A and B are shown apart, each in its own frame.
Chain A
Amino acid sequence: MEDVKDLPIVVDRVRPWVAGILGILMPGAGHAYLGKTGRAAIYFSCTVAMFCLGVFYGARLYFQVGFDDPLAIIRSAAQVAMGAPYAVGKILGIAQDAELITRSTFEYGTTFTEVAGLLNILIALDAYDVGAGRKK
Chain B
Amino acid sequence: MSFLNSHLVALTLFSALASTVMGTLAEDTFEARRLYALKAFGGFFLTSLAGAWLMRLLS
Cross-interface CB contact of A43 among B4, B13, B21, cutoff 8 Å: B21
Q: Which of B1-49 contact A (CB under 8 A)?
A: 1, 4-5, 10, 13-14, 17-18, 20-22, 24-25, 28
> Which A88-136 residues sit within 8 Å CB-CB of chain B?
105, 108, 111-112, 115, 119, 122-123, 126, 135-136
Say yes or no: is A46 at the interface (Cβ < 8 Å to chain B).
yes
Q: How many residues of A contact B (CB 8 A)?
A: 21
* A-B residue pairs in contact (CB < 8 Å), sample of 26: A42-B20, A42-B21, A42-B24, A43-B24, A46-B17, A46-B18, A46-B21, A47-B17, A47-B21, A49-B17, A50-B13, A50-B14, A50-B18, A53-B13, A53-B17, A56-B1, A57-B4, A105-B10, A108-B10, A115-B14, A122-B21, A122-B25, A123-B21, A123-B25, A135-B28, A136-B28
What A residues does B18 contact at CB under 8 A?
Answer: 46, 50, 115, 119
CB-defined contacts of B17 to chain A, threshold 8 Å? 46-47, 49-50, 53
Interface of B is mostly: helix
For the residues of A in contact with B, the DSSP-based class is helix
State how many residues of chain B have any CB contact under 8 Å with chain A.
14
Q: A42-B20, A42-B24 provided; 18 other pairs, C-beta below 8 A?
A: A39-B24, A42-B21, A43-B21, A46-B18, A46-B20, A46-B21, A47-B17, A50-B13, A50-B17, A50-B18, A53-B4, A53-B17, A56-B4, A57-B10, A105-B10, A115-B18, A119-B21, A126-B25
